[in-house]
Structure formats: structure tokens, C-alpha cells
């Protein structure tokens, strides 16, 4: 009898499966398709437990679908462009490509040890010219569709290194990571994608995604931020210009006491009177250095100053002052608002601070006669007062009527506004896909002809972290003739945001090695949409929204024929580790490495102070991580997988616990023992005659497991309860008293088949051990026999006047009269029921009890 040796069998089977090509994507379309996808990783160096969890969940889903008769696409690749590689180049002088590819090699080998059933033929890395050629091609599709354009936008500027910084390169104090200089905002021409053109579709189509978590959908909806209201124009006194405002409350327009412009608004200098010029200019400068968050924070006082200019409320003809204030954002709506202190909380605060008039125009329906003195803004709907033509209307009706009136008079119209802004995609960095356009002094922006793609990143580049981006410093690369007229022209030196790379990789996976096309639409339309996408909730907004946007644009270019890329989405929870903290210390110093702590008496090794214990998301800085490699070396990948699947439902956070890992290892050892013992006997292969009670009970346990686990795997993926069902079946087999029966064989085989997607190596080893030649992963999922679930006897309680007087075993298939008859025959009933005398009443609860009232 052999011992369970995970290392030996895992290596063996990984090699064999690879040779057999077990996980290759089928090309025939003889079965329904299933596309299982994990969010591909950034190759940072090593795999962490979060990766292991994500990929194990998807792997179980892929494997189960193969067994259930689907053709499965289950690919893996690398989100390989981005800042860390370039930072490594600046700090350590390693070329970003070298750093990236060596990390990929490391992580690929770790992935392979987990027994994940990927088709490695589809592997892709977004930093490879084979891939980014098509990223550039897609950019040109957007450009041709009028969805890529340039405009000025603010960037982080390091005045010492004279370079643009990514947000990640600016610390919490606003200093450059490299030079330590205070980072400034500088305006540069930048590339944008017009995602706002798709705002309404991106919002509406969330309804087409019932398989997405509601939380993710509402995060996307909030990000898109649709508001319905009106655009109204306020003429400026003494000028031939108007201030356009966006308002969601046109019903309050008779209560406007001032108009506020964002300080950056182009009308600000025009409306400012000479007395106010100085104060206005210094206010603008102050606000320029605040972040949007600071400007809009609820708890912060709203700051603003008058410009001296005046506007006219077109409804009342009244003159009102024009102010500027920090809480009005230039990028939203029109960058100007009408101030209605009586009905908007922010305006109420502002008006009180600045002593501006407050005019009530909406009142609660039951208080319409007595205009109140406000202690706070009244923001609810109500009845309109002080509003001329509209007095007495419901405010909701007034909204529409006031818009109609404004339209008729020519000073406004209905307007829908979205919070979503266009996507700034250009980066002044090296390690990204170059934007494939050329700037010609005669022709303007000229797209690089398709035949010249990819625009390859030049290799001999210096990474100093100073000055313009490495590409912009490379004269021989930058200076090229215009493809259209031949004039000396310049290449675009910005590269694309890495979110672009990840917005379409799932499409490329369906035809990853196509050298002639971005992908063959027929193949992509066949495999897409992804049937199950699994990844971190940190991507709930940007990555998922951008991918949806790309899909819709390519659909409109007739390259794709579907609306949404990801049918179902599972956002897995975090993996948390036991964390020791010293509450007397602050910052990262408060985290104490567990290696230095005695778990029975946790104290700070430096100070002797007692430590606090908690579970927190594993991270390097908290010293609470567990390396996947260590767990695999000690217990094998199957145990690591089983533990991760068993410990928590996939969407919930998971607390790493060595004792529970050990527990799963013991479970696999018990299965090993059961099957090896079985393999040494010669049990019956076919059933002769009627089943005994023991056999019936075991069959019920077997088919209950099939039933429960199949349900757990049908859509909601309750993988943790699936594992506990397997443990139940294993116990039933162990305790069974019919180990020579064919039913026992059925039980052993079923257990191995159910286990196969979860612990693929041990399942394969045991499957072969009991005499199979075909891989367990090519077998079909066990079929449920409903009749095996039937119980043939029940325990029936006999009651007399509601008191239990005994129990009997009764056939399960009896109806109410049958049960009553059966109960009358019981000893207990006979004892209490006088012969020949009928009880007053008999109450039968099927499956439970019979109560005789006498």
C-alpha cells in the first residue's frame, strides 16, 4: 500500500497531460462552447495567494464544463506593459523588456505547478510586438471612427527632473518619487478616447448582465453618473454673452440668487470687474493646486468670491451677481451653476457664509400657505410658490413646464448630463504601446499606414527618469517623413495607457496566433462572450467599463457581433493572513513579521510590548503573506487548491489558516487510503438482485453528493459547500458495510470524478489506480439517478392528544389515509385507543406524525 506523495504525482501528471495535449482548445464545434477566463496578471515577479485563488476558481469552472460536455476555452496571458518595469529600469538599469520577460518566466513556472488547465498555445503578452501591433491597429479604428482625439489636459510635472510623472510616482505629500520636488500641474496636449459617446449604452446595457454582481453594476452606473435636467442661459449684463448652466432642478429657477462659475471658466476673466481683478486672480491660482476631491469634500467650507459681474435671470429679469467658487467643477456640465440656496444644501451653506439672499420657491404640500423660515435647504419635491406662471404646480410638473417655457422663449432646453468623462489614454512613458500617428506640419495628424504596424519600441534607450520621455529623446526615432506628403514630420512619442491593452486581450485569446488580423471575427464571435469571468473587485469600474466600451466600438465597426464581453462575472474575495500589529507603533513599523513572534505569547521582539492579532489582506508590507510555492512544496498543489476552495465561498474574504490547510491534506490522504484499499480488493462489478438496505443507503449518499455538487457548480459556484459534500461522501464510503458490492465501486468512482476538477492530480492518480486508461479529465460528469435519492422508510411519530407516545418506521410512499391506517396498527396506538371506539379526530402530518385525539 503506497503513501500519498503529492510532489511525485503532481509533476508526473502535469508532464503527461502536457504531452497528451489535454487542455488544448477544441477546434471542432460539435459541442456547446464555454469560455472561462481569469483576469490576466501583471507580471510583478511572483505569484501571490490572490492569484492562486482567482485561477483555482476559474480552473474548477473550466474543468467541470469539460466534463459536462462543453468545448472549453481557458487561456492565460500577461498584462505586461506598465510603470513598474520602467521604474526598475530607472533604478536598477535593467531594460523593461528583460525585467518583464524574466518575471513572466518565473510566474509561468509557478502557475504550471498549480495544475491549471490552460491552453498555453494561446498565451500572450501585451508587451510583445505580435500583440501591440493590434493594439495600435485598434487605436486607428477608434481614430477613424472619430473616437480618438487630442486636447489639452493637466499632467503631474516634476520641475527638477523636468519630466511628467504618473500618479503612482507622486507620494501622499505631493512629491516626486525620484527627485522629491513638489509636483506641479502642467497642461499638455493629450490623447483621449470618446467613451462619453457610449455613456448611455454603457448604462442601459447593464440590464443585459443578470450574471454580474449588483454591487459592480451599481458602481458602474454611479461612475457613468447620469443626471436628467435642463440647460439654461443667463445673459451677462453689459455683454453680448451668456452663462449656460446645467441644473437638475429647473423647477427652482425663480429662487436663483446668484450664478457661480468654476474659477477656470473662460468667462471668469471677462465678467470680472477691475476692482475685483486682483482677488479673482489670486483665488484662481489657489484653487488650481487643489484636487477635485478637496474641492468637493462635503465637510469642507465652500469658498468663493464675487467677480463684480452681473447676470440676468431670464425668467424674472432680475439682476444677480456672478461669483466664482471652488466647489463648481469646470469639467462637469457647463462648469457653471445657478445658485438656489433655499433648495440646495451646498448653496444654502454658501449663501449663509457669503450673506447672499435666500428665496423659497418650493414648499411642502401641506404647508403651502405659510412660507417657512429655513434652517436648512428644502430639497424635497413640493408645491411651487413665488414663481409667477408656475405657482401652485407640483414641483415635478413644474420641471417639465419650465423646460418647455424656456425652450419656447429660447433661453434653455432639456439636457441629460453624464459624470463620465473621456478617457485620457496618453502616457509620456516608454513601456507601453506607441500611439501610431505622425505629426506633419502640413497635413496635421496622419495615422501610420496599417502596413507599417507595429511601430516597434526602439530598444537602445536610456532610462534616466529625467527630461522628456525616453522616446521623445530619441531623435532618429522621432524624425520621419510624413506618410502622406513626405515632408519632414515627427512621430507621436506618447504611449497608451495599459488599460487599453487589457480592454481587448480576451478577444485576442480566441485567435491568439493570428499574424494577419487582429483576430478572425468568425472565431471570436463563436467563442465570445466570455461565459464566466473571474477577478478582483478592484476592477469593478475601469477595466470592466473600458472592455465593455471596446466591445461596443468594435461591434459598431462590424468587427464583432455581440454587445457585451462578459456574460457572468465573479469577483472573488481577498486572501487574508494573520497579522501581528503593535498598537503602540504607527505606519508600516507597526506590522511585525510573524517569523519573529511567538504565537503563544505574541510580543514585539524589540520592545516586548504585547501585539494585536487580526486578519488583513496579505501584503508584503504587512508581513502576513504566505508564499504559494511554500504551500505547494509542503502539501502539494491539490491541497492548496482544496483549502482555498473549501475555506470560504468564492466572493467572500478568506482567512488563511494552517490548521485548515492541514485538514484538507488529511482529507486527501483519507481519500487516498480509501481508494488504495479498494484497489486491493476484488469487488463486484455488476449488481445482482435487489439492493440491500446498506446498499440503498450508500447509493443515496452517492447520488446526494452528485445532486448537491452539481447544484453548487451550476452558476453560483458554491465551491466550498461542494468540497464539504465530497467529504460527506468519503465518510459514507468509509463507514459503508457493503464494500464488496458494485454500489461501493460506483461510490469510489463517483468520488474520484467529483473530486477531479478540484484536486486534478490525485484524482487522476487514483482513477488510473483503479484500472482506467483514459484520463479522468476526459470522463463525463457523474449522472444523477433521481430514484436513488428516494427514501423508502420514514420515522413516524405517534401522538395521543398531542403527546408523543412512540415512533415507528413506515413506508415513505404512503398517502394520508395509508399513514393513518399504518399508525393505528402500532403498539402505541393500540395501547391508547380503546377497542371499537373511534378517536374524536386524527391529524396526519405526512412524513412526520399521526396524532389521535381521544
What is the smallest separation between the CB atom of 343 and ligand ANZ, expressed in angstroms? 3
Draw the binding track, 758-777, toward ligand ANZ (x: CB under 6 A; -: no contact). Answer: --------------------
The smaller minimum CB distance to ligand ANZ, of residues 338 and 814, is found at 338
Q: Which of 54, 247, 495, 799 binds ligand ANZ (CB under 6 A)?
A: 247
Q: Which stretch binds ligand ANZ (CB under 6 A): 140-148, 246-254, 633-641, 726-734?
A: 246-254
What is the smallest separation between the CB atom of 489 and Zn ion, expressed in angstroms? 6
Name residue 717's beta-bridge partners. Answer: none
What is the smallest separation between the CB atom of 249 and Zn ion, expressed in angstroms? 51
Q: Which of 643, 642, 650, 732 is nearest to 695 (CA)?
A: 732
Q: Which of 115, 107, 123 is nearest to 627 (CA)?
A: 107
How far apart CA 368 and CA 374 sit, in angstroms, is 14
CA dihedral 417, 422, 423, 424 (to 10 degrees): -130
The smaller minimum CB distance to ligand ANZ, of residues 72 and 256, is found at 256
Cβ contacts of 185 within 8 Å, gap of 6 or more: 154, 155, 156, 157, 288, 289
What is the smallest separation between the CB atom of 290 and ligand ANZ, expressed in angstroms? 14
Which DSSP letter does residue 610 get? B
The smaller minimum CB distance to ligand ANZ, of residues 7 and 227, is found at 227
Known binder of ligand: residue 226? Answer: no
Q: Which stretch binds ligand ANZ (CB under 6 A): 49-57, 243-251, 509-517, 731-739?
A: 243-251
The smaller minimum CB distance to Zn ion, of residues 489 and 709, is found at 489
The smaller minimum CB distance to ligand ANZ, of residues 140 and 245, is found at 245
What is the smallest separation between the CB atom of 255 and ligand ANZ, expressed in angstroms? 7
How far apart CA 382 and CA 116 sit, in angstroms, is 61
Pairing of strands 304-312, 383-384: unpaired
H helices of 713-815, where? 719-735, 742-755, 760-769, 786-789
How far apart CA 75 and CA 62 sit, in angstroms, is 10
**Residue 525 binds which entry of ligand ANZ, Zn ion, none, CB below 5-8 Å type-dependent:** none
CA 180, 183, 184: angle at the middle one, nearest 5? 155
Q: Report the site for ligand ANZ in 396-425 (rule: CB under 6 A).
A: 417
- Please report how many Cα atoms fall inside a 13 Å half-sphere around the Cα of residue 439, on the Cβ side: 10
Which DSSP letter does residue 794 get? E
Q: Which of 106, 196, 248, 617 binds ligand ANZ (CB under 6 A)?
A: 248
The smaller minimum CB distance to Zn ion, of residues 91 and 442, is found at 442
**Residue 425 binds which entry of ligand ANZ, Zn ion, none, CB below 5-8 Å type-dependent:** none
> Does residue 337 bind ligand ANZ (CB under 6 A)?
yes
> Does residue 323 bind ligand ANZ (CB under 6 A)?
no
The smaller minimum CB distance to Zn ion, of residues 151 and 442, is found at 442
**Residue 290 binds which entry of ligand ANZ, Zn ion, none, CB below 5-8 Å type-dependent:** none
Q: Which stretch binds ligand ANZ (CB under 6 A): 143-151, 333-341, 711-719, 723-731?
A: 333-341
Name residue 427's beta-bridge partners. Answer: 495
Residue 666: burial class (beta carbons within 10 Å; 0-12, 13-18, 19+): exposed
How far apart CA 711 and CA 728 sit, in angstroms, is 16
How far apart CA 2 and CA 4 sit, in angstroms, is 7
How far apart CA 599 and CA 796 sit, in angstroms, is 52
> Does residue 328 bind ligand ANZ (CB under 6 A)?
yes
Give the interface size with ligand ANZ as a residue count (CB under 6 A).
18
**Residue 581 binds which entry of ligand ANZ, Zn ion, none, CB below 5-8 Å type-dependent:** none
Q: Which stretch binds ligand ANZ (CB under 6 A): 240-248, 307-315, 603-611, 666-674?
A: 240-248
What is the smallest separation between the CB atom of 193 and ligand ANZ, expressed in angstroms? 22
**Residue 335 binds which entry of Zn ion, ligand ANZ, none, CB below 5-8 Å type-dependent:** ligand ANZ
C-alpha cell recorded at residue 792: 423508502
Q: What is the DSSP track for 474-521?
A: -HHHHEEE-TTT--EEEE---EE-HHHHTTTHHHHGGGTT-SSSS--H
DSSP H or E segment with residue 619 = none
DSSP H or E segment with residue 746 = helix 742-755
**Residue 248 binds which entry of Zn ion, ligand ANZ, none, CB below 5-8 Å type-dependent:** ligand ANZ
> Does residue 344 bind ligand ANZ (CB under 6 A)?
yes
How far apart CA 847 and CA 724 sit, in angstroms, is 27
**Residue 340 binds which entry of ligand ANZ, Zn ion, none, CB below 5-8 Å type-dependent:** ligand ANZ
The smaller minimum CB distance to ligand ANZ, of residues 330 and 832, is found at 330
**Residue 344 binds which entry of Zn ion, ligand ANZ, none, CB below 5-8 Å type-dependent:** ligand ANZ
Residue 726 CA from chain centroid, whole number: 30
> Does residue 313 bind ligand ANZ (CB under 6 A)?
no
Q: What is the DSSP track for 558-583?
A: TS---S-SBSBEEEE--EEEEEEE-T
The smaller minimum CB distance to ligand ANZ, of residues 340 and 560, is found at 340
Q: Which of 333, 535, 650, 757 binds ligand ANZ (CB under 6 A)?
A: 333
Q: Which of 734, 737, 771 is nearest to 751 (CA)?
A: 734
How far apart CA 444 and CA 236 sit, in angstroms, is 37
What is the smallest separation between the CB atom of 457 and Zn ion, expressed in angstroms? 24
What is the smallest separation between the CB atom of 348 and ligand ANZ, expressed in angstroms? 9
Q: How many CB atoms lie within 10 A of CB 189?
A: 11
> Does residue 340 bind ligand ANZ (CB under 6 A)?
yes
Q: Which of 493, 487, 490 is nearest to 471 (CA)?
A: 493
Cβ contacts of 612 within 8 Å, gap of 6 or more: 580, 581, 582, 583
> Does residue 343 bind ligand ANZ (CB under 6 A)?
yes
Which DSSP letter does residue 450 get? G
**Residue 329 binds which entry of ligand ANZ, Zn ion, none, CB below 5-8 Å type-dependent:** ligand ANZ
What is the smallest separation between the CB atom of 482 and Zn ion, expressed in angstroms? 3
Residues that bind Zn ion (CB under 5 A): 440, 442-443, 482, 484-485, 487
Q: Which of 148, 220, 268 is nearest to 420 (CA)?
A: 220
Draw the binding track, 249-268, toward ligand ANZ (x: CB under 6 A; -: no contact). Answer: x--x----------------
**Residue 442 binds which entry of Zn ion, ligand ANZ, none, CB below 5-8 Å type-dependent:** Zn ion
Residue 491 backbone dihedrals phi, psi, to 5 degrees: -70, 150
Residue 334: burial class (beta carbons within 10 Å; 0-12, 13-18, 19+): buried
**Residue 440 binds which entry of Zn ion, ligand ANZ, none, CB below 5-8 Å type-dependent:** Zn ion
The smaller minimum CB distance to ligand ANZ, of residues 206 and 340, is found at 340
> Does residue 230 bind ligand ANZ (CB under 6 A)?
no
The smaller minimum CB distance to ligand ANZ, of residues 332 and 667, is found at 332
How far apart CA 746 and CA 742 sit, in angstroms, is 6
The smaller minimum CB distance to ligand ANZ, of residues 340 and 752, is found at 340
Residue 174 CA from chain centroid, whole number: 29
The smaller minimum CB distance to Zn ion, of residues 294 and 450, is found at 450
Pairing of strands 71-73, 33-38: parallel
> Does residue 246 bind ligand ANZ (CB under 6 A)?
yes
How far apart CA 791 and CA 499 sit, in angstroms, is 56
> Does residue 617 bind ligand ANZ (CB under 6 A)?
no
The smaller minimum CB distance to Zn ion, of residues 386 and 484, is found at 484
What is the smallest separation between the CB atom of 252 and ligand ANZ, expressed in angstroms? 4
Cite the annotated binding site for ATP by residue number. 620
Cite the annotated binding site by residue number. 620
List contacts with ligand ANZ (CB under 6 A).
227, 246-249, 252, 327-329, 332-333, 335, 337-338, 340, 343-344, 417
Amino acid at each position: 500500500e503506497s503513501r500519498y506523495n503529492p510532489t511525485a504525482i503532481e509533476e508526473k501528471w502535469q508532464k503527461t497531460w502536457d504531452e497528451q495535449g489535454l487542455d488544448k482548445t477544441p477546434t471542432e464545434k460539435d459541442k456547446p462552447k464555454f469560455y472561462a477566463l481569469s483576469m490576466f496578471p501583471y507580471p510583478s515577479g511572483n505569484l501571490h495567494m490572490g492569484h492562486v485563488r482567482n485561477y483555482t476558481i476559474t480552473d474548477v469552472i473550466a474543468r467541470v464544463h469539460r466534463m459536462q460536455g462543453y468545448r472549453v476555452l481557458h487561456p492565460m496571458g500577461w498584462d505586461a506593459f506598465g510603470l513598474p518595469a520602467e521604474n526598475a529600469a530607472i533604478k536598477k538599469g535593467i531594460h523593461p523588456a528583460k525585467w518583464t520577460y524574466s518575471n513572466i518566466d518565473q510566474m509561468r513556472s509557478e502557475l504550471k505547478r498549480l495544475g491549471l488547465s490552460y491552453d498555453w498555445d494561446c498565451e500572450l503578452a501585451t508587451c510583445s510586438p505580435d500583440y501591440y501591433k493590434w493594439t495600435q491597429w485598434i487605436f486607428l479604428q477608434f481614430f477613424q471612427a472619430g473616437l480618438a482625439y487630442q486636447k489639452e489636459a493637466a499632467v503631474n510635472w516634476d520641475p527638477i527632473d523636468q519630466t511628467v510623472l504618473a500618479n503612482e510616482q507622486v507620494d501622499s505629500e505631493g512629491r516626486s518619487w525620484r527627485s522629491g520636488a513638489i509636483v506641479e500641474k502642467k497642461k499638455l496636449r493629450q490623447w483621449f478616447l470618446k467613451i462619453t459617446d457610449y455613456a448611455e449604452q454603457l448604462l442601459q446595457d447593464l440590464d443585459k448582465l443578470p450574471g454580474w454582481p449588483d454591487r459592480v453594476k451599481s458602481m458602474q452606473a454611479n461612475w457613468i453618473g447620469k443626471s436628467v435636467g435642463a440647460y439654461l442661459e443667463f445673459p451677462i449684463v453689459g455683454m453680448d454673452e451668456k452663462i449656460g448652466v446645467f441644473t437638475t432642478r429647473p423647477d427652482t429657477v425663480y429662487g436663483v440668487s446668484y450664478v457661480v462659475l468654476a474659477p477656470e471658466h473662460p468667462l471668469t476673466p471677462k465678467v470680472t470687474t477691475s476692482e475685483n481683478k486682483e482677488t479673482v486672480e489670486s483665488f484662481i491660482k489657489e484653487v488650481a493646486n487643489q484636487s477635485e476631491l478637496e474641492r468637493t469634500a462635503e465637510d469642507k467650507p465652500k469658498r468663493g468670491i464675487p467677480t463684480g459681474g452681473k447676470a440676468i435671470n431670464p425668467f424674472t429679469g432680475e439682476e444677480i451677481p456672478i461669483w466664482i467658487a471652488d466647489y463648481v467643477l469646470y469639467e462637469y456640465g457647463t462648469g457653471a451653476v445657478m445658485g438656489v440656496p433655499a433648495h440646495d444644501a451646498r448653496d444654502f451653506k454658501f449663501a449663509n457664509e457669503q450673506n447672499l439672499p435666500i428665496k423659497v420657491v418650493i414648499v411642502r404640500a401641506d404647508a403651502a400657505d405659510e412660507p417657512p423660515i429655513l434652517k436648512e435647504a428644502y430639497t424635497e419635491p413640493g408645491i411651487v410658490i413665488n414663481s409667477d406662471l408656475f405657482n401652485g404646480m407640483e414641483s415635478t410638473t413644474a420641471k417639465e413646464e419650465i423646460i418647455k417655457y424656456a425652450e419656447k422663449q429660447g433661453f434653455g432646453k432639456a439636457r441629460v448630463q453624464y459624470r463620465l468623462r473621456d478617457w485620457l489614454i496618453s502616457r509620456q512613458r516608454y513601456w507601453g504601446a506607441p500611439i501610431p500617428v505622425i505629426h506633419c506640419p502640413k497635413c496635421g495628424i496622419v495615422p501610420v499606414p496599417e502596413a507599417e504596424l507595429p511601430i516597434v519600441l526602439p530598444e537602445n534607450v536610456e532610462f534616466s527618469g529625467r527630461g522628456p520621455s525616453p522616446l521623445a529623446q530619441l531623435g532618429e526615432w522621432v524624425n520621419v517623413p510624413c506618410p502622406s506628403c513626405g515632408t519632414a514630420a515627427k512621430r507621436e512619442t506618447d504611449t497608451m495607457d495599459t488599460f487599453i491593452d487589457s480592454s481587448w486581450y480576451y478577444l485576442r485569446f480566441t485567435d491568439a496566433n493570428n499574424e494577419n488580423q487582429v483576430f478572425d471575427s468568425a472565431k471570436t464571435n463563436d467563442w465570445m462572450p466570455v461565459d464566466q469571468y473571474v477577478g478582483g473587485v478592484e476592477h469593478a469600474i475601469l477595466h470592466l467599463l473600458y472592455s465593455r466600451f471596446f466591445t461596443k466600438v468594435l461591434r459598431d465597426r462590424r468587427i464583432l457581433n455581440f454587445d457585451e464581453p462578459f456574460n457572468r462575472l465573479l469577483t472573488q474575495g481577498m486572501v487574508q493572513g494573520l497579522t501581528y500589529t503593535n498598537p503602540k507603533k504607527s505606519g508600516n513599523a507597526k506590522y511585525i513579521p510573524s517569523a519573529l513572534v511567538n504565537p503563544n505569547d505574541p510580543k514585539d521582539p524589540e520592545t516586548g510590548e504585547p501585539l494585536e492579532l487580526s486578519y488583513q489582506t496579505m501584503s508584503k508590507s504587512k508581513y502576513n503573506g504566505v508564499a504559494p510555492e511554500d504551500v505547494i512544496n509542503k502539501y502539494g498543489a491539490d491541497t492548496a487548491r482544496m483549502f482555498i476552495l473549501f475555506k470560504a465561498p468564492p466572493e467572500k474574504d478568506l482567512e488563511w489558516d494552517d490548521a485548515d490547510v492541514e485538514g484538507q491534506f488529511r482529507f486527501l490522504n483519507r481519500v487516498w487510503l480509501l481508494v488504495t484499499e479498494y484497489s486491493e480488493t476484488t469487488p463486484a462489478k455488476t449488481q445482482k438482485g435487489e439492493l440491500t438496505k446498506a446498499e440503498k443507503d450508500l447509493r443515496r449518499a452517492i447520488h446526494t453528493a452528485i445532486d448537491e455538487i452539481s447544484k453548487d457548480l451550476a452558476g453560483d459556484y458554491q465551491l466550498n459547500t461542494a468540497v464539504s459534500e465530497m467529504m460527506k461522501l468519503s465518510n459514507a464510503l468509509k463507514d459503508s458495510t457493503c464494500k464488496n458490492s458494485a454500489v461501493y465501486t460506483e461510490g469510489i468512482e463517483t468520488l474520484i470524478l467529483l473530486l477531479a476538477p478540484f484536486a486534478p492530480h490525485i484524482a487522476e492518480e487514483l482513477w488510473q489506480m483503479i484500472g482506467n486508461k483514459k484520463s479522468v479529465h476526459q470522463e463525463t460528469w457523474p449522472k444523477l439517478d433521481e430514484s436513488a435519492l428516494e427514501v423508502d422508510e420514514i420515522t413516524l411519530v405517534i401522538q395521543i392528544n398531542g403527546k408523543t407516545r412512540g415512533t415507528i418506521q413506515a413506508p415513505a410512499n404512503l398517502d394520508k389515509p395509508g399513514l393513518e391506517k399504518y399508525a393505528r396498527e402500532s403498539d402505541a396506538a393500540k395501547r391508547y385507543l380503546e377497542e371499537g371506539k373511534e378517536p374524536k379526530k386524527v391529524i396526519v402530518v405526512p412524513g412526520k406524525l399521526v396524532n389521535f385525539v381521544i
